[in-house]
């Protein structure tokens, strides 16, 4: 069985761009002395033990912004912008977020392990300090998570000769991971943005700027004795488990590959539950954008991932990954104005990207992304590292980082009553959404034009209209039923609850419907009953 050639044999009308996305962004908090902040994680941001959007990574000063799953790259970037906005206005007003992956000048005493409630997580960070050192932990970046769309995967599964969807998805994502490691050097060339390290960071200082310290062997990588095979999922799992059982890794998550197979807490569970998405960990912060990454980057990487599926697998994958890793190091540590080495197989990956655009007849926008890559290959000064070259002063980016970080901070405080990216919504709704993100209340926009949002924490769910009407308002029920999108969402929730409390709800329905019943329903039960009945009638289900 093979997953090679599937895209070439599927219908050109397949939902090739269907996917879901998630982003994780790390940044250091910097104080008014332009040093790493020594203050605690902001109280305004609630409790880190459950906050879904804003956490701390390694140190108390290293904030981590986490988006929920987005159905498009536009959705997920918009959400990252909003969370960035909330974070920027929730830290101390005399602090700002460092816009670069490499930290300003610091010492190990400037870095304090995050004060987490979880004792194991604190011990894990103490282990990392002992094993790798504290200073290396201050590097920041962006992780790009992607899951291929369910309809797309189903279409490809039907084209394949696999009997098991789990096995098919495992081979599909393993192939993507394999090819990602073979071609990630192109992303390092395009998006590398850590050209220098401030004084004292490296044991041996660099003599000239490079493309990406973070994406080279000088960045945050495992020790050289950790070598995990990608020959098969079984080899991958066995190697990681062997290193953990031999105490060479404290936990499975200490395997710092540029790409991770994701979907289960333990890698062995992939054999039964399947891999569900990939975590791409190679992206430096783009200091020219307040969110750390651009729309064009997200879409180019999406096209790049599809091209990896278009390409065939390697018959000697571990050997090829080793050679590709050497090529990646060569590119990462080259001067920002150096072109790609002649031995870089750039035509292979560009041809695959072009194949996707042509075969599936994608819009001119995607052709423009390929053209932009070709232009940057010919003109290295247009890459992020090339653009940063003009900002380097005496092998330092501190002045640029301070200026850019403060500019982004000032931007966050412009129109403090608004939420960046959602200015088209009513101000009252924007303020409510800001507060929800800040406190870690889960949020979903159900109907942007109608100002309908859903808030929930644990089992408590509220449907809110115009930021002031909730389930406490008896008029919310007809408003929900007038809106088809909100009604569908609400009814799906009720059906889910129905499965949990089926017998008691049937008893309630029978009691309420009976003419002889003297049962007096509460306002909340009346609302739920009305919507349940409406849903059942809409589905032609017996009541």
Same domain membership, residue 173 and residue 70: yes
CA-closest candidate to residue 482, choices 508, 460, 450, 455: 450
Separation between Cα atoms, residue 331 and residue 216, nearest integer Å? 9
The answer on pLDDT for 84 being more than 90 is: yes
Helix H or strand E segment including 29? strand 19-30
- Measured between alpha carbons, how far is 426 from 287 in angstroms, rounded to an integer? 31
Same domain, 174 and 37: yes
Q: Which of 120-124, 165-169, 519-523 has the lowest mean pLDDT?
A: 519-523
Whether 526 is in a domain gets the answer: yes
How many C-beta atoms surround the C-beta of residue 164 within 10 A? 12
Domain annotation covers residue 446: no
Please work out, in degrees rounded to the nearest 5, the angle formed at the alpha carbon of residue 203 by the alpha carbons of 199 and 207.
Answer: 65
| One domain for residues 401 and 491 | no
Q: How far apart are CA 437 and CA 455, in angstroms?
A: 10
pLDDT 10s digits, 423-452: 999 999 999 999 999 999 999 999 999 999
Q: Are residues 84 and 175 in the same domain?
A: yes
- Looking at the fold, whether 138 and 265 belong to one and the same domain comes out as yes
Q: Is residue 26 in a domain? A: yes
Return the percentage of the chain with pLDDT > 90, whole number: 83
Q: How confident is the model at residue 25 (pLDDT cuts 50, 70, 90)?
A: very high
260: three-class secondary structure by DSSP: strand
pLDDT averaged over every residue in the chain: 92
For residues 223 and 291, give the distance between their C-alpha atoms in angstroms, rounded to a whole number: 31
What is the tally of helices (H) and strands (E) in the chain?
Answer: 18, 10
Beta bridge mates, 28: 62
* 102 and 225 co-located in one domain: yes
Q: Are 160 and 168 in contact (CB under 8 A)?
A: yes
Residue-range definition of the domain harbouring residue 247:
6-12+19-405
Residue 416 lies in a domain: no
Q: Which 3 state secondary structure label does DSSP give 416?
A: coil
Task: Compute φ and ψ for 54, nearest 5 degrees.
Answer: -130, 115
- Provide the edge-to-edge strand list for the sheet that holds 442-447: 442-447, 452-457, 460-465
Higher local confidence (pLDDT), 32 or 491: 32
Phi/psi for 430 (5° steps) reads -60, -45
In this structure, is residue 450 part of a structural domain? Answer: no
* Domain identity same for 272 and 175: yes
Q: What is the pLDDT of residues 343-357, one digit of tens each?
A: 999 999 999 999 999
Distance CA(100)–CA(141), nearest Å, equals 8
Which CATH number does the domain housing residue 345 bear?
Answer: 3.30.590.20
Is the whole model's pTM more than 0.85, yes or no?
Answer: yes
User: For residue 329, which phi and psi values (nearest 5 degrees)?
Assistant: -60, -40
On whether both 188 and 283 belong to a single domain, the answer is yes
Statement to judge: residues 195 and 341 lie in one domain: yes
Phi, psi of 209, deg, nearest 5: -65, 155
Q: Please tell me the distance from the alpha carbon of residue 270 to that of residue 256, in angstroms, as a whole number.
A: 18
End position of a domain, from candidates 358, 381, 405? 405
In 51-201, DSSP assigns E strands to 54-56, 62-66, 96-97, 142-148
Please determine, for residue 197, whether its predicted confidence score (pLDDT) is greater than 70.
yes
The model's confidence at residue 527, banded by pLDDT at 50, 70 and 90, is: low
Least confident of 219-233, 462-476, 495-509: 495-509
What does the pLDDT look like over 279-311, one tens digit per residue?
A: 999 999 999 999 999 999 999 999 999 999 999
- Structural tokens at position 132: 């790798």
Which parts of 261-397 fold into alpha helices (H)? 270-273, 295-310, 317-332, 346-359, 364-378, 384-388
Q: Is residue 455 part of a domain?
A: no
3-state secondary structure of 219: coil
Rounded CA separation 238/255 (Å): 13
The C-alpha R_g of the chain, in whole angstroms, comes to: 25
First-to-last alpha carbon distance for the chain, in angstroms, is 48
Tally of structural domains, the chain: 2
Shared-domain flag, residues 400 and 510: no
- Pairwise pLDDT comparison (473 vs 377), residue with the higher score: 377
Q: What is the pLDDT of residue 214?
A: 98
Does residue 434 sit within a domain? no
| pLDDT of 543 above 50 | no
What pairs with residue 59 in β-bridges? 113
Q: Which of 367, 386, 405 is the last residue of a domain?
A: 405
Q: For residue 90, is pLDDT > 80?
A: yes
Last residue of a domain, one of 405, 435, 451: 405
| pLDDT above 70: percentage of residues in the chain | 90
- Buried/exposed 85-114: b ≥16 CB within 10 Å, e otherwise: bbbbbbbeeebbbbbbbbbbebeeebbbbb
Confidence band, pLDDT 50/70/90 cuts, at residue 509: low
Q: What is the 3-state secondary structure (H, E, C) of 439-489?
A: HCCEEEEEECCCCEEEEEECCEEEEEECCCECCCCCCHHHHHHHCHHHHHH
């Amino acid at each position: 069985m093979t997953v090679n050639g599937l895209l070439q044999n599927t219908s050109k009308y397949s939902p090739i761009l269907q996917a879901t996305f998630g982003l994780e962004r790390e940044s250091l908090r910097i104080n008014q002395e332009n040093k790493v902040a020594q203050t605690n994680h902001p109280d305004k941001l609630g409790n880190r033990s459950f906050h879904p959007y804003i956490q701390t990574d390694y140190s108390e000063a290293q904030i981590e912004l986490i988006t929920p799953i987005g159905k498009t790259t536009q959705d997920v970037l918009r959400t990252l912008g909003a969370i960035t906005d909330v974070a920027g206005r929730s830290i101390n007003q005399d602090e700002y977020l460092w816009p670069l992956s490499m930290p300003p000048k610091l010492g190990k005493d400037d870095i304090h392990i995050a004060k987490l409630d979880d004792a194991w997580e604190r011990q894990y960070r103490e282990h990392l300090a002992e094993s790798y050192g504290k200073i290396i932990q201050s590097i920041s970046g962006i992780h790009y998570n992607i899951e291929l769309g369910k309809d797309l995967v189903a279409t490809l599964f039907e084209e394949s000769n696999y009997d098991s969807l789990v096995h098919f998805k495992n081979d599909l994502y393993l192939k993507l991971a394999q090819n990602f490691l073979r071609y990630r050097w192109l992303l390092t060339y395009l998006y590398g943005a850590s050209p220098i390290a401030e004084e004292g960071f490296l044991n041996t200082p660099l003599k000239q700027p490079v493309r990406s310290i973070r994406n080279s062997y000088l960045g945050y990588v495992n020790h050289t004795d950790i070598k995990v095979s990608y020959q098969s999922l079984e080899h991958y799992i066995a190697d990681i488990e062997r290193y953990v059982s031999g105490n060479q890794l404290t936990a499975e998550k200490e395997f710092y590959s540029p790409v991770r197979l994701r979907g289960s807490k333990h890698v062995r569970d992939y054999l039964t539950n399947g891999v569900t998405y990939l975590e791409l960990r190679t992206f430096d912060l783009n200091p020219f954008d307040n969110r750390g990454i651009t729309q064009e980057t997200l879409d180019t990487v999406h096209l790049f991932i599809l091209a990896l599926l278009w390409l065939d697998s390697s018959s000697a994958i571990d050997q090829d990954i080793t050679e590709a890793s050497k090529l990646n190091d060569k590119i990462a540590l080259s001067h920002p104005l150096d072109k790609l080495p002649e031995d870089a197989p750039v035509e292979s990956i560009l041809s695959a990207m072009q194949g996707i655009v042509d075969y599936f007849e994608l819009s001119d926008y995607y052709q423009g992304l390929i053209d932009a890559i070709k232009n940057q290959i010919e003109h290295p000064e247009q890459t992020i590292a090339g653009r940063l070259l003009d900002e380097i002063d005496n092998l330092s980016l501190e002045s640029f980082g301070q200026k850019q970080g403060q500019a982004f901070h000032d931007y966050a405080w412009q129109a403090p009553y608004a939420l960046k990216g959602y200015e088209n919504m009513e101000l009252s709704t924007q303020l409510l959404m800001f507060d929800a993100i800040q406190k870690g209340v889960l949020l979903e926009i159900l109907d942007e034009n109608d100002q309908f949002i859903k808030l929930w924490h644990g089992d408590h769910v509220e449907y809110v209209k115009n930021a002031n009407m909730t389930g406490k308002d008896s008029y919310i029920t007809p408003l929900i039923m007038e809106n088809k999108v909100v009604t569908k969402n609400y009814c799906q929730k009720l059906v889910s609850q129905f499965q949990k409390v089926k017998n008691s709800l049937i008893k309630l329905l029978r009691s309420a419907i009976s003419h002889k019943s003297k049962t007096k329903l509460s306002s909340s039960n009346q609302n739920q009953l009305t919507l349940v009945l409406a849903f059942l009638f809409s589905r032609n289900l017996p009541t």
